[in-house]
Structure 1
Amino acid sequence: MTQDDDDRALRLACPLDEMLAEALALVDATRRYLESRPAAPAVAPGELPHVREIDRITTRLGHVVAWLLTRKAGGPAMASAGRPLPHDLDGDPACLDQPLVPGLPARLQGLLDASADLYLRAARLAGENAGSRHHLH
C-alpha cells in the first residue's frame, strides 16, 4: 500500500464510520417502530402499503450496512488491487423507488425519508469512482 492509498483510506474512514453509525441508529429506530406496533397474526389488507414501506426501509438499510461493512473490512485494498468487491450498491429498484403512499404514520414517513437519504448518499459515495448516479423515482 502506498502513502496515497493510506491517505485515501484515512479520508474515507471517518465518513464511513459516521455513515455506519447513522445506519445503525436508523436500524434501531426501525426496530423500535416495529416493536411499538400491535402484534397481529396476519396482515390486514389495508396494512399492505404500510408493510411494503417497512420492507423498503429494511432493504435500504440492509444494503447500506452491508456496503459499509464491506468497505471497512478491506474494500479499498481490494479495489486498489483490482479485485471485485463482494457487495456493491447496484441501484436496487426497491431502494430507489419512493412512491407517495397516503395515510402513512409520520414516524414511518420519517424513517422512509431518512433511509432514502442515507441510501442515496451511500450510492453516491460508491459511485464516485465508477461515475454512476442513483436517483429516487
Structure 2
Amino acid sequence: MNQGPREIRLRGRLVESLYTEAMLLADEARAYFEHRGRDDRDALDPLSRVTMSCESLKVTTRLMHVLAWLLTERAIELGQMSDEEAQASARRLGDAAGSERAVLDSLPTQARALVDASLDLYARVRRLEGDAPDLSGPAVSPALSLLDRLERAF
C-alpha cells in the first residue's frame, strides 16, 4: 500500500507518541519493581512474590519488544534502514507472553496497573504493525486496501 505524505507524517507522529509512552512506562515500571514495589513484594507470600517477579519480567519483555519495533519504525522514517532490512523477521514485533487475569488479581494494585498498561501498549503496537505497509510487494491501490481492511474488521 502506498502512503501519501500526510499518512507518513501521521504515522511518524503516532510512532513518536508511542515511543514516548513506552519510555515513560518503562521508567515507571523500573522504578516500581526495583524500588517502590519492594514493600509490596515483601508483604506477599513466597509464591505471590515469585508471581510478581515473573510479571515484572513480562512487563519488561513487552516493553523492550515495543521499543525495539518503534526504533525500527523511526529508522525507516529517517531513511536509516532499507526496505529489505525493515522487512526482516528480526525487525518485527517480537512475541511476548500474556498474563492471566487470575494471576493479575493477586498482585498489588500498582503492579497490576503496570502489567495492564504494558499489555495495552503492546496490543496497540501489534495492531499498528498489522497496519504497516508491505514494502516488499507491489503497491496496492488505496481502495483495495480499504476493502481488505473492512473485510478483516467484519
| TM-score normalized with structure 1 length | 0.74
Q: What is residue 125 of structure 1 aligned with on the other side?
A: 128
C-alpha contact 2:62 2:96 (8 A) present in aligned 1: no
Gaps in structure 1 of 5+ consecutive residues: 132-137
Whether the 8 Å contact between 1:64 and 1:122 is mirrored in structure 2 is yes
Task: Report deviation, 1:93.
Answer: 4.6
Stretches of structure 2 that go unaligned for 5 or more consecutive residues are: 40-45, 135-147, 149-154
Aligned equivalents of 2:84 and 2:4: distance in 1? 13
Report how many aligned residue pairs link the two structures: 122
Q: What residue number does 1:74 align with?
A: 76
1:15 aligns with 14
CA contact (8 A) 1:57 1:112 kept: yes
Residue 105 of structure 2 is aligned to residue 106 of structure 1 = no
1:55-105 per-position Cα deviation (integer Å, ceiling 9, x unaligned) = 1100000000010011101268557x4542442114x251xx221214200
Richer in helix (by share) = 2
1:36 alignment counterpart: 36
Q: Which amino acid aligns with 2:55?
A: E
Measured on the aligned residues, the alpha-carbon RMSD in Å equals 2.8
Greater relative contact order (Cα < 8 A, sep 6+): 2
The 1:99/1:4 distance shift into structure 2, 3 A limit, reads: closer
The structure having more radius of gyration, on CA atoms, is 2
